Structure 1
Amino acid sequence: MRKAHIWFLVSLLLLTACTPRIEKEEEVVRETKESREHAIIPKYNLSGEHYRTILPFKPGETRGLIKSTVANRLDINELETGLMRLSQEYFNPEDYYFQEGQYLEEEEVIAWLGRKESGGENETPEGLNPPLAKGSSLKEVNESSPRYLSHILEHNFLKKNEEDKVELAGVSVALSLNSVHYYKQENGYDRQFDIPIEQIEENGKRIATEIVKRMRGMDGLKDVPIMISLFIEKPKESVVPGSYFAKTLVGQGDRSISKWETVGEEYVLFPSDYATNAYYDDATKMLNFTNDVERYFPNYVGVIGTGFYQDQQLQDLTITIPIQFYSQAEVIGFTEYLTGLIMEHFPPYISVKVYVESIGGQESLIVKEAGKEEPYVHIYQ
């Protein structure tokens, strides 16, 4: 109990240290497509890795559409947060402010997500997906012309000028691409076709080129730098999200894409055959950690880990441990034990988050930030 009490005090001190200082916000003028309005720039942001958002908050023109176009909730989260992460290379959070996309309207995006018009159902002149091919069966038709483009996500980045006005200074666009094409056969059974990665990449870049041309024809976007990124979704049933695999910056006034840059990001499930084959050392660390947990706590249910890799190097590891508890003392003892295991099994350059859960909800949280000697531990009351 004494150790747990110390950890609880540590968590309170950390929370106090991280509490933002109340300062006066900064008032600016925000010009939109329709009007000029007074807006507020918050003085405090969560960290140098986050953008400050102009207030009042302006919902994006396609707000909510992503829920009907992207099936996996994990893909939705990563599509949005990952786009912000990639944007930081071009639009520094210290100089730019965030706003949801205001230029690509919902009806427009829906039309772009359709198939190119050729007389078939759900086809439009503006469609960026290929028209249905000819064939003797639904299998042949669908697998020779899968739907590649699933969603288009837009973020805007504003900058303040000398007249205390914030104006559009950059746009980021993510193209979410299917890795699996779902369709029904003649007998009505659901079928799926795994799209070859080469086809996904080729068609993603083709679609991106066309989107840049269209955006350059819109009012307000003729001269603004546009960052385009390509995201590949995971299958609907996946327990890890998809990832970005390419990006490019279309410079101010440019109307075409000159080159692409590879984005070496990937989410990996532990335990899994893929993790063992591709990242054997990390899979072994997770296995040893899991064995130590299982050895000392009989009510243990399982350990599930998700690793985030950049250029094949593990950066962040999120671990979820569901367990059955019978007392608060057991929660405290288990959390203390886990904290020691985390410090023992995982090197200091990896950020690790551990969520301990029971049927009653979240029980404790352990966070070991990369490079930090002491973890943050919180036990929910």
Structure 2
Amino acid sequence: MGRITIFARDQQGETMKRISPLRSLVACRWTNRARKRLAAVGLASICLLSACAPKFDKGEEVVQDKGSKQQEAVIPKYNIADSYYRVILPFKPSGARGEVVNDVNTRLDVDEFETGLMRLATEQFPADEYLFQEGQYLDSETVGKWLARKKTARQLKEEKMKPEDNIGLNPPIGDTGTNEQKNKQSPIYLASILEHDYLVKIDNDKVKLGGIAIGLALNSVHYYSTEQGYPREVKIKDDVIEREGKRIAAEVLKRLRSMKGLGNVPITIALYKQAPRSSVVPGHFFAVAHVDEGSSTIDDWEAVNEEYYVFPSDEAEENHRDDWLKFNNFKSDVEDFFPNYTGIVGRGLYVNDQLQKLTINITMPFYGKAEVIGFTQYVTGLVMEKFPDYITVNVYIASAGQPESLIVRQAKADEPFVHIYQ
């Protein structure tokens, strides 16, 4: 449906020839006539696709069981992908909504912290058996208290705090010494806490809490200021991040078990190392523990081997040379056929040292929709030819300040999804 055909002049410049959208000659010079034809075909494709859009019905109505309380809810009938959880409706925002955005260093970390926790949770709570709901047990006040530093006796007295409110999970800062001395000796380890709830159907028309996942975002760099207001930072070693993360996780588990409704549900806790503020890639999860229902101790931690790399970069060349070469060949092919300035940057997710997902951002100037269509078709062909089919590849094509097109090739998919923004 909606196949787009590209036209180009022959070598004598007299007649128009139809050529395959996957051939590299698409990138050649466009005539005014070709531009008009392409724009017309693209518009017709959009109209046709709009006419075929499905109409979704409401979904399956259920009752959410909350012990003594019951509430009507709806399970969406359609799921956009097998790897995504269906979200129970009406949507209930977390009581700690917005805390992750405020506490995590970059937008990249915000996205990876949340989606990565979902990815790890599928090991314990399969997406085809469980429903997703934002965390309903940890509110902003609780999270704020847990993220605080523990107070010394002197600080409690000065701040007129009650001892029962002194529940910070970060280490106390000393009462004496300069800011530099105190922060180097006692950096802030825990940056953010994220809760996801997973619901399970217990009969035809009821759902209940089946388990929760907790993400703990840990600093790789601690930022602070001197008495004069100058910014400073302390890098935290990986072994210290792991040690402190596991210490904090054990305490978090005990506190969760004491909360009403969480005493006998499975709990997954995952440790996330967030990237420095200047990083162009997000951080990554490095450890996960699955705790059985009723247990208040973590008996075993599983190592999570995930990491992001930028393409092109010296780190990618050194550690994943084959993938680095594939990306550079792709980049060269794009630049050779389209002499306009192009900026091409990739970000690859590696799981167990295997490239799983590659996100490519391409920025270049366009002078008409026909050029966008032609360029997108050409890049689509390169994606299918250059990258192995076990990799999910997402390509975002943009001009100055606005998106132009999107290419998605899911792993093992025979055909890509391509969208031209209108």
Q: TM-score surpassing 0.5?
A: yes
* Structure 1 SS opposite 2:328: helix
Aligned partner (choices 29, 50, 63) of residue 29 of structure 1: 63
> Structure 1 residues 126, 273: CA separation in 2 closer, same or farther (over 3 Å shift)?
same
Structure-2 residue corresponding to 1:239? 280
| Residue identity opposite 2:115 in structure 1 | T
Structure-2 residue corresponding to 1:40? 74
Structure-1 residue corresponding to 2:246? 205
Structure-1 residue corresponding to 2:135? 101
* Structure 2 SS opposite 1:127: coil
Name the CA distance, whole Å, in 1 between partners of 2:51 and 2:262: 43
| Residue identity opposite 2:298 in structure 1 | I
Shift in Å at residue 69 of structure 1? Answer: 1.2
Name the CA distance, whole Å, in 1 between partners of 2:43 and 2:356: 27
| Residue identity opposite 1:160 in structure 2 | K
Name the CA distance, whole Å, in 1 between partners of 2:86 and 2:410: 23
* Structure 2 SS opposite 1:115: coil
* Structure 2 SS opposite 1:168: strand
* Structure 2 SS opposite 1:303: strand
Superposition map of 1:93-132 within 5 A? 93-118=127-152, 119-120=154-155, 125-132=166-173
Name the CA distance, whole Å, in 2 between partners of 1:350 and 1:13: 30
Name the CA distance, whole Å, in 2 between partners of 1:367 and 1:12: 21
Superposition map of 1:123-162 within 5 A? 125-133=166-174, 136-162=177-203
> Structure 1 residues 23, 332: CA separation in 2 closer, same or farther (over 3 Å shift)?
closer
| Residue identity opposite 1:334 in structure 2 | F
| Residue identity opposite 1:193 in structure 2 | V
Shift in Å at residue 62 of structure 1? Answer: 0.4
Structure-2 residue corresponding to 1:317? 358
Aligned partner (choices 212, 227, 250) of residue 186 of structure 1: 227
> Structure 1 residues 66, 276: CA separation in 2 closer, same or farther (over 3 Å shift)?
same
Matched, 1:345 2:382: no
Percent identity of equivalent pairs: 49
Name the CA distance, whole Å, in 1 between partners of 2:365 and 2:85: 39
> Structure 1 residues 32, 359: CA separation in 2 closer, same or farther (over 3 Å shift)?
same
Contact 1:7-1:378 at 8 Å conserved across structures = no
Structure-2 residue corresponding to 1:169? 210
Shift in Å at residue 237 of structure 1? Answer: 2.2
| Residue identity opposite 2:260 in structure 1 | D
Name the CA distance, whole Å, in 1 between partners of 2:116 and 2:308: 12
Structure-2 residue corresponding to 1:249? 290
Shift in Å at residue 71 of structure 1? Answer: 2.6
Farther-moved stretch of structure 1 (148-157 vs 5-14): 5-14
Contact 2:257-2:263 at 8 Å conserved across structures = yes
| C-alpha RMSD of matched pairs (Å) | 2.5
| Residue identity opposite 1:114 in structure 2 | A
| Residue identity opposite 2:229 in structure 1 | G
Name the CA distance, whole Å, in 1 between partners of 2:179 and 2:58: 62
Contact 2:105-2:275 at 8 Å conserved across structures = no
Name the CA distance, whole Å, in 2 between partners of 1:165 and 1:209: 32
Structure-2 residue corresponding to 1:65? 99
Shift in Å at residue 65 of structure 1? Answer: 1.7
Name the CA distance, whole Å, in 1 between partners of 2:113 and 2:294: 26
| Residue identity opposite 2:340 in structure 1 | N
Shift in Å at residue 11 of structure 1? Answer: 8.6
Structure-2 residue corresponding to 1:2? 5
- Flag structure 2 segments of 5+ consecutive residues without an equivalent: 7-20, 22-37
Contact 2:109-2:275 at 8 Å conserved across structures = yes
Farther-moved stretch of structure 1 (311-320 vs 333-342): 333-342
Contact 1:51-1:97 at 8 Å conserved across structures = yes
Matched, 1:54 2:88: yes
* Structure 2 SS opposite 1:193: strand
> Structure 1 residues 127, 33: CA separation in 2 closer, same or farther (over 3 Å shift)?
farther
> Structure 1 residues 15, 286: CA separation in 2 closer, same or farther (over 3 Å shift)?
farther
The alignment of Structure 1 onto Structure 2 pairs a total of residues equal to 380
Superposed CA deviations along residues 76-116 of structure 1, whole A, max 9, x for unmatched, are 11111111111111111222111111111211110010111
| Residue identity opposite 1:356 in structure 2 | I
| Residue identity opposite 1:64 in structure 2 | G
> Structure 1 residues 352, 380: CA separation in 2 closer, same or farther (over 3 Å shift)?
same
- Flag structure 1 segments of 5+ consecutive residues without an equivalent: none
Contact 1:8-1:377 at 8 Å conserved across structures = no
* Structure 2 SS opposite 1:79: helix
Matched, 1:268 2:309: yes
Name the CA distance, whole Å, in 2 between partners of 1:270 and 1:20: 38
* Structure 2 SS opposite 1:257: coil
Superposition map of 1:349-364 within 5 A? 349-359=390-400, 361-364=402-405
Name the CA distance, whole Å, in 2 between partners of 1:341 and 1:175: 39
Superposed CA deviations along residues 23-48 of structure 1, whole A, max 9, x for unmatched, are 55222222347842211112221122
